Structures are given as C-alpha cells and as structure tokens.
Chains A and B, each alone.
Chain A
Amino acid sequence: MVDIQNLHKSYGKLQVLKGIDLKIETGKITAIVGPNGSGKTTLIKCMLGLVHFDEGKIQIDSIDISNSILYRELIGYMPQIGRYPENLKAKEIIDLILSLAGKRKSSNLDYLVNLFKFEPHLNKYVKNLSGGTIQKLSVILAFLFNSKLFILDEPTAGLDPIATADLKNLILQKRNEGATFAVVSHQLTEVESYADNLVFILEGRIVINSPVKVFIQQMQKQSLEEAVIDYLKGVG
C-alpha cells in the first residue's frame, strides 16, 4: 500500500529522517513507534504531503505522492491534537470535510455518530467541547470515508476507556475489511493488542521492522514492551 524509499528530511542542520526504507503492507496494521523526536510524526507528515522531504520517494497505492494530490482521497487521517475553528459547530466541521470528499462517496457518519455517542455534540460549538469530545470528533473525521489507508497519530490519547475500546474495535473491523493502517503510538502495550507489524524508529532510522509476534518470539520475551526494552538495551 505504501512504499517509502530512501527518505531523507532535515530541518536546517537537524537531520530528522536518515534514509527510511519502508513498505506498509496492505490490509495490515503497522504500528510506528519510537521515542520523542525520533521522526515518527515527520514520517507520517511526509506521507500526508504536509512535510516536503529532501530526498527519496513515497508511493501510496502506486501513486507517486510528489506528482499528485489525488492520493489523499485514499487516506483517512487523525492528528495527535485535533484543534478546529472554535466558532464552528462540530457538524459544520464534519460538513466541511464531507464537502472536500472529491471522488469519495460512501460516508460512515451515522454509524460513527452512534458508535461514539456523538449526537448530543453535533450542534455544539467547538469552543464548548471537552478535550475528549474533540478527540472523538477527530476519530469521526478520520473514519468518515471508507478509506484504503488510515494514518493515525496517537489515536487513543485523550479518549476515555470506552471510546478507546470502541476505536480499537473499529480499527480491527476496518482492517478485516481490507483497510491498511499506519498508527503512531507511544504505548507498546496498546500496540501489541491490535498491531500486526512493528516499525521502531530511533534517531531517524528504522531499527526494528518486523511482525509484532515474530519480534516478541525472536527476543524470547512475554510482551512487546519487554522485547523492545531488551532490544534497545542491546543496541544502546
């Protein structure tokens, strides 16, 4: 689904991505993890076209993203912090994204509103929504269309336990329907519960790229968290 080749990105003298080669498998959930400042968010922002990379190539569904914006019709994106125009109602923000649908037709709005019990908030102004409710709005916006690829940045941060469970189920359901996921997360326990593949980025380089279960077995540990810590101790 996603093919990244030799990706480099610097901000001034700071080299953030140092030659990333990555293939994100179709129909799989790939968790992108790593410490703060390792380059995870920059990597997904390159995939979204928000950050211009210096060198390399990204293809999404065989479309070179440097040549077209149409590939964005394939993507559902959830940012780490959802901040929306505060004088608009939640429904109006959803309408804006729906109006920018392009060729995307089917909308999951009613299903998502029911799932996250969002009905009472639809006509509220964003400035009157709590942090958790804004996060639910971000989830709804990301899953509004039946996208082929979902890019989620810390999706469960700020969500209550019920909404977190609902979101995990939604991710798994979409994965089972054939969607591909790239999920940035800090929480290895959570990643282990739903991710198929693990990509660990350290200082702008991929140091682990493996199926989650295979990696845990290779490291001879009980959990992903233990396996990663053990691996990092070995590297460090």
Chain B
Amino acid sequence: METLYKITIFQLQNVIRSTWISIYTLGLILLTTLIIYFTNDSSKIIVSLMTIMFILNPLMGVLFGSIYLYNSREFIELVLTQPITRGTLYFGLFLGLSIPIVFVTLVGVGFPLALSRIIEPELIGNLVATSIFVICIFVSIAFLITTFIDERSTGLGIAFIVWLVLCWVYDGFVLFFSYAFQDYPIEKILLGLTIVNPIDLARINILIKFDAAAMLGITGAVFQEFISATWGKILTFFAHIVWIVLPLAFGYKKFKKKDF
C-alpha cells in the first residue's frame, strides 16, 4: 500500500503540473461561469452543463489518459525494473491520473455552480458525482486501450472512436430502434439499452430529475420509476462501477503479461 501511495503521489504531481490540465481547468471555469450568467433557468443551465460533463469530459478523460500513458512508456519500463509489482504500478498510475481529472471537474464545474447558488446543492452533488464516475470510466477505457494497443496513432484513433460511439453513435442507434419499434411496448428494452451505455445512464440519471422528463412519455415514466426506486439507484451505481472495473481489470490482466 505504501508503494501504491508513492506511485500515486508522484503521478499526481506530474499530471497536476501539466499545462493541458491548467488550460482545461480554466476553460471549464470560464465556460461554466458563462453558462450560469447567460442562462437564468436552472434546467437550461443543467442541460448545457451536461454537454460539458458527458461529452467534453469523457473526451478529455480518454484522450488525455491515452496520450499520457503512451508518453509514459519508457518511465513505466524504468519503474518496473525496481522491486515493485506490476499491479502496484498499474493501479498507482490509474489513481494518479484519475484524481487530477476528477479534481478538474470539481474545481471547473462544481465550484462555479456552488458559488452561483442557482441550483440546489443536492442536484449539484448529483451532477458532479455522476460526472466523476463518467471521467473514471473513460480513464479506465484509456488504460484498456493503451495496454492492448502499442501503436500510439492506432490507440488514439480507437480511443476517439470509443468516445464517438458511446457519446453519439449509440444514441442514434437507440433513437432508430425506438422509432422502428414505436408501436411495440419497448420501454423496458430501452431501459436495458440505456443501462448498457454509461453516458446514456448518466444523462437519464440527471434529466429525470426535471419536469422535462414528463415529455419522455411512458418511457420517461419507466425511467422515473427505475431511477427513483432504491434498487434502481443501486443498479445505476453498480452499472457505473462495472464500467470502471471491467476495462481496468482487462487492462490489468494484459499489463501483467505485457512485454515492455
């Protein structure tokens, strides 16, 4: 545990000093502040912020994570020549990379929101917590990709495609599916499809708390029932955890056997 802590701290120091992290944090603060002051309606603020939380942040998580890991390859080699297990290094790298990006969200979005006092603290907490899960999921995906794909350009391409699919293409598929089968009772299937994609689940988790959810009709009612119920909350939490753990675990399995 002591070695894990050391690796995490060193990694954290390196990431937090990155110019990109500083630029991104300042950009988020500016963007969030502008959204708050140019939009008076709290629902509209949340919907606008969701674009940052569930589109921009995942892209940042998966691309920054991948680039960072590709750039660290020689250093990973050097640390592995020390008496340290691969597991300690792997999870130290993950924590040292996730914590600063999570911190960026807290400072860049949570801080201006809390200061503005336009939105209820509970909702801010929910939004920031969901966003943290989403970031960790995409950093975890970055770990999976970089451990399996050695070639940097291919890995970054795949990272971008994964982001594109989860944030955009999947929605198109769900929309097409619901349109094609609109005459059938597909609410539960839609719920299932939503749980499968962490971004959709995160979006619904926030959206359902607004009056706008009524516009979603029967599907909205099913989602509302699901998200409000205790088992629904547990399942939502569990689905996010699975999305963090699975890519990380598969990546770790490969990392243990990987040739450097």
Q: How far is the CB of A2 from chain B (nearest CB, A)?
A: 15
Instruction: Provide the main secondary structure of the chain B interface.
Output: helix
Counting CB contacts under 8 A, is A7 at the interface? no
- Bound-state CA distance A52–B257 (Å) is 7
Instruction: Please give, as numbers and ranges, the residues of chain A lying within 8 Å of B80 by CB-CB distance.
Output: 48-50
B66-79: CB near A (< 8 Å → 1, else 0) gives 00000111110111
Contacts of B73 in A (CB 8 A): 83
Asked if residues A88 and B14 are in contact (CB atoms below 8 Å), the reply is: yes
Which chain A positions have C-beta within 8 A of B6? Answer: 96, 99-100
A85-B83 contact in complex given A51-B259, A51-B260, A52-B257, C-beta closer than 8 Å: no
Q: Mark B8-34, 1 if CB is under 8 A from A, else 0.
A: 001101110110000000000000000
Q: Does the CB pair A87–B18 fall under 8 Å?
A: yes
**Residue B116, interface by CB 8 Å:** no
Give Cα A97–Cα B3 distance, bound, in whole angstroms: 11
Q: Ordered nearest first, which 8 A-B pairs have the shortest CB separation?
A: A83-B74, A87-B17, A85-B14, A102-B83, A100-B82, A50-B260, A77-B81, A51-B259
State whether the Cβ of B84 lies closer than 8 Å to any Cβ in chain A.
Answer: yes
**B10 and A79 form a contact (CB under 8 A):** no
- In the bound complex, do residue B83 and residue A69 qualify as a contact, i.e. CB atoms below 8 Å apart? yes
With an 8 A cutoff between CB atoms, is B85 at the interface? yes
Chain A residues with a Cβ under 8 A of chain B: 11, 45, 48-52, 69-70, 72-73, 75, 77, 79, 81-88, 92, 96-97, 99-100, 102, 141
User: Among A92, A100, A141, which residue has the most Cβ atoms of chain B within 10 A?
Assistant: A100
| A224 and B13 alpha carbons, distance in the complex (Å) | 48
Nearest Cβ on chain B to A29's Cβ, whole angstroms: 19
User: Interface on B for A, CB 8 Å cutoff?
Assistant: 3, 6, 10-11, 13-15, 17-18, 71-75, 77-85, 257, 259-260
Whether B78 contacts A79 by the Cβ 8 Å rule is yes
A79 with B13, Cβ < 8 A, contacts A50-B80, A70-B83, A72-B83 known: no
Closest B residue, CB atoms, query A9: B259
| Other contacts beyond A87-B13, A88-B13, A102-B82: 5, CB < 8 A | A85-B11, A87-B14, A96-B10, A99-B6, A102-B83
- The interface residues of chain A lying within 8 Å CB-to-CB of B13 are 87-88, 92
B72–A85 touching, CB < 8 Å: yes
A96 to B18 Cα, complex, angstroms? 18
19 contacts between A and B (CB under 8 A): A49-B81, A50-B80, A72-B81, A72-B82, A77-B78, A77-B81, A83-B74, A85-B14, A85-B72, A86-B14, A87-B14, A87-B15, A88-B13, A97-B78, A97-B82, A100-B83, A100-B84, A102-B82, A102-B83
Minimum CB–CB distance from B49 to chain A (whole Å) comes to 29
